[in-house]
Amino acid sequence: MQSIGFRRFFCVYYVLLTEATDCQILLSSPVFPAFFKTIPAVFTVKVTAKKNGKKVSKTLASNITVKDYKVRLEDATGATVSGTTIAVVGTPVQFTAKTAPAKATVTYTSSDSAIATVDTTGKVTPVKVGKVTITAATDKASTTAEVEVKNYVLKSVAQTKANTLETVVLGKTSDIKPADIKITNTANNNAIAVKSVSVDKADATKVTVETFADMKDAAKYNVELDGTVQTFTATDGVVSDVNVTPVTIAANTKGTEIKGQTVDKNNIIIDEFKASEASGKNAELNLSTTQGYVDGDKLVLPTVGNKGTAEVKYHTYKFDTNGNEVGAYTKKVDITAVAENAITTTGFNMTFADKAPNWDKDKTTNQLAIGSSKNAYFKFVGSDGKEISNYSDYSVVSSDDSILLLPKTTLINSTTPVSVKGIKEGAAYINVLDKDGKVVKSLAVSVTASSKLTNVTLGNTAITISKTASVDNKVSVKAVDQYNNDITTASKIILSGATSDADKAISATRDGNDVKVVATAAAEAGKTYTVKVEVKNGDVTINRYFTVKVVKTNDDVTKASDLRLEVSGVKDGKVDMAVADDADAEKAAKNVTVRVAAYDAGAQIGYVDNATYEINNDKQSVVTTSTTGASISVVSCGAATVSKNLDAGKTYAVTVKTAKKTFTTTFSVVDTQASASVNITKKTTTKTNAADILAETCEVTYDGKKLNNPTFVVNGNDCKTVGASTYIAKASVYVTNSKNITYTVPVTINTTFTR
């Protein structure tokens, strides 16, 4: 910066002399230090010159200020960047350089263009997840901004119902799955399992999150998505009013479901219920009309302008001394029939899969490898937010047969596949045609190179094992291709010691996707050995290494120096009771096993045998008590029939006690089993038993297949008989998977049948 200062100093110095004196400039001994100690620097200049042949001197009244050259970065908000800017893959961030002097030329660079690129204007385009440094430089100065690229950024969270959050999220929100979102009570760290995630069709940044459990304890909750966290305070659950929804319904339909609501002081919905569910919510909901009719929980109004009435009541069943109910609310609402809007198809979804996907659960993909044939599944949604039924009005065809082979094919439904083949690497589209042959949507498809081994990761790179204890010491191995698909099972794993000593001292064998490690007689206590993990897939080989420290231990678990809790059968804090189509009896069963591992000198030496544990549900009642090592049966499978033994949507606390130490942990139970769909062929019946009524009147489809002679199970709380009418809200139906395992799946009925 000194040379910059001197050049600027002399330029200004010369101008001042010229302006201040009508003299010949001698330029002698100006008053300034030999170098600049600080920037900016201020100087008073003494001028010596000749005038009419005589030497004259003059001290200028003006001071010269030597300023630094500066550059700083601002993001799109105009705020100067001082910390880390969070960006989302595919969403550009505009940086602006503020320079001194203002007209300085700025050059932008990225420290890693694979993570984020930057153009000549300062626009940063995030490419993949990671951290990158953006530099803005002139020829005299530079500055940097740190950018962290994420898949998603959670901008805000607001509670709208006891079990529903409205969030604003940046990123490709259509890919968000329930498991991606973590909700935690900040007071007790209890996790709230997410049931579903839905994206607004008009604004993809608006994401609705539904949970299995209600949040109405006035507690603070953290909501985390891809490392970004927002906090909200839950409703206190105190009812301040009641409502009815909707208050307008389409005329001349099969009926519209009417619901009552209890709301708090902030208009957050505490409970929402149909007429058949009201009693369980300390409420009543009565529907009536003289211009149409009531069908169970539905109101049917045949003509525009017809009206019905819904009266909702909330009870506390607490009374004052005069017999008046305290805290009760009542509201009567008119419901009016309006013209039904024409429903158009607005949502077009496609994915490649081996079987019909669960669209609410499975991640979608538009990638297809060269030479591979895949099943493409399509799901179209109407402007009413519901799946369309007129799939036969649409057909699909490839935009470029040289890249993607797909002859024109008429669609049947969302569970019937269309065969597609990748021909060569490139981008193509599946064009969706309406019944007139016009393209109404083009769905992008990426035909990619064949899968190749790209990376291998180890669960641990350093472990400590006992020379004498007989325990399983394992290191997990994960191999992925260039698309981040797990190809471990299909890869060959070769294990060996990195040196001849290690080869003799350590026995390393493959156990599924793990490496099982045992110290041999040749191992020396106190010595560390290196194991080589060689992973091969096709013509690609990747080597990884981990170290094994062998230690001398006291193998008496009663004298262990450390105890650690091990819980197996739980993933990300949850147990999913859903049964997969390819699950046999062993895979269908879901067990949680709790054990206390004993350690000495940093190595596991065994398990504590005399520890006991208790499992409590969210009502704090004891579910089971047992010794550790025994399994908690969440889902059992006997005689090829599945039984689901715990309650979905609940969190269970585990307390483990040993003579030395007490442990606590929790897990949540969820059930992502897809529902069956039902076609009610008639509403008249000759049967009186609810299950028999359904068998007589309903056709059921599950996983794209129509069930022959389905067997139903109806809970007594889900049906009601009055005279010759039986209303059935919901049921379960038995299905059998590809391994001949039988289990029940839910099916919504919501219909009144008459005899």
Pairing of strands 248-250, 329-338: parallel
Question: Strand 107-110's sheet: what is its strand order?
Answer: 84-88, 142-150, 130-137, 107-110
In the chain, the percentage of residues whose pLDDT exceeds 70 is 86
**Secondary structure (DSSP) of 144-197:** EEEEEEESEEEEEEEEEETTEEEEEEEE-GGG--GGGEEEEETTT--EE-EEEE
Tracing tokens 């669609």 back to the chain, one arrives at: 411
Residues 130 and 642: their CA atoms lie apart, in Å, by 44
Q: Could you read off the pLDDT of 154-183 as tens digits, one per residue?
A: 999 999 999 999 999 988 898 899 999 999
- pLDDT (0 to 100) of residue 360: 67
Residue 271 CB neighbours (<10 A) = 24
What's the average model confidence in pLDDT over 95-111?
80
Residues 459 and 456: their CA atoms lie apart, in Å, by 10
* Torsion angle of the four alpha carbons 736, 737, 739, 742, in this order, in degrees rounded to the nearest 10: -30
- pLDDT (0 to 100) of residue 232: 96
- pLDDT (0 to 100) of residue 734: 94
Indicate the pLDDT class of residue 463, thresholds 50, 70 and 90: very high
- pLDDT (0 to 100) of residue 676: 86
Task: Identify which of 118-127, 217-226, 445-454 has the greatest average pLDDT.
Answer: 217-226
- pLDDT (0 to 100) of residue 620: 63
Q: Alpha carbon of 81 to those of 71, 96, 126, 149, 232: distances in Å?
A: 12, 10, 17, 16, 27
Q: Could you read off the pLDDT of 468-492 as tens digits, one per residue?
A: 999 999 999 999 988 778 899 999 9
**Token pair belonging to 685:** 């019946």
- pLDDT (0 to 100) of residue 452: 86
- pLDDT (0 to 100) of residue 26: 44
Residues 506 and 517: their CA atoms lie apart, in Å, by 7
Contacts of 356 (CB under 8 A, 6+ apart): 377, 414, 415, 416, 417, 703, 704
- pLDDT (0 to 100) of residue 72: 63
Residue 369 CB neighbours (<10 A) = 19
* Torsion angle of the four alpha carbons 355, 358, 361, 364, in this order, in degrees rounded to the nearest 10: 50
Indicate the pLDDT class of residue 28, thresholds 50, 70 and 90: very low
- pLDDT (0 to 100) of residue 18: 44
- pLDDT (0 to 100) of residue 704: 66
Pairing of strands 404-405, 462-466: unpaired
Is the pLDDT confidence value at 617 over 80? no
What's the average model confidence in pLDDT over 196-225?
90
Q: For residue 520, give the 3-state DSSP assignment.
A: coil
Q: Which domains does the chain have, with CATH numbers?
A: 2-66 (no CATH), 70-150 (2.60.40.1080), 152-233 (2.60.40.1220), 241-338 (2.60.40), 345-448 (2.60.40.3440), 453-552 (2.60.40.1080), 558-670 (2.60.40.1930), 677-754 (no CATH)
Identify the CA nearest to 386 among candidates 363, 365, 414, 409.
Answer: 414
Q: How many helices (H) and strands (E) does the chain have?
A: 4, 64
- pLDDT (0 to 100) of residue 601: 95
Q: Could you read off the pLDDT of 361-407 as tens digits, one per residue?
A: 677 888 888 888 899 999 998 877 778 888 999 999 999 899 999 99
The DSSP code for 500 is H
Residues 95 and 87: their CA atoms lie apart, in Å, by 12
Our measurement of the distance from residue 516's CA atom to the centroid of its chain's CA atoms, rounded to an integer in Å, reads: 33
Tracing tokens 């054990």 back to the chain, one arrives at: 595
* Torsion sign (Cα): 573, 575, 580, 584: positive
Specify whether the CB–CB gap between 163 and 192 falls below 8 A. Answer: no
Evaluate if pTM is beyond 0.75: no
Specify whether the CB–CB gap between 356 and 414 falls below 8 A. Answer: yes
Q: Could you read off the pLDDT of 122-148 as tens digits, one per residue?
A: 888 888 999 999 888 887 788 888 889
- pLDDT (0 to 100) of residue 615: 83
207-224 burial: b if 16+ Cβ within 10 Å, else e: bebebbbbbbbeeebebe
Residues 252 and 233: their CA atoms lie apart, in Å, by 43
Residues 164 and 209: their CA atoms lie apart, in Å, by 6
- pLDDT (0 to 100) of residue 46: 57
Residues 650 and 192: their CA atoms lie apart, in Å, by 9
Q: Chain-wide mean pLDDT for the chain?
A: 85
Q: For residue 399, give the 3-state DSSP assignment.
A: coil
Given phi > 0 = left and psi -120 to 50 = alpha, else beta, which region is 423?
alpha
What's the average model confidence in pLDDT over 537-546?
95
Specify whether the CB–CB gap between 422 and 368 falls below 8 A. Answer: yes
Specify whether the CB–CB gap between 150 and 171 falls below 8 A. Answer: yes
Specify whether the CB–CB gap between 652 and 674 falls below 8 A. Answer: no
Phi/psi for 146 (5° steps) reads -90, 135
Pairing of strands 540-551, 462-466: parallel
Identify the CA nearest to 253 among candidates 310, 308, 299, 307.
Answer: 299
Task: Identify which of 278-292, 309-323, 526-540, 729-743 has the greatest average pLDDT.
Answer: 526-540
**Token pair belonging to 72:** 């700083």
Specify whether the CB–CB gap between 514 and 476 falls below 8 A. Answer: yes
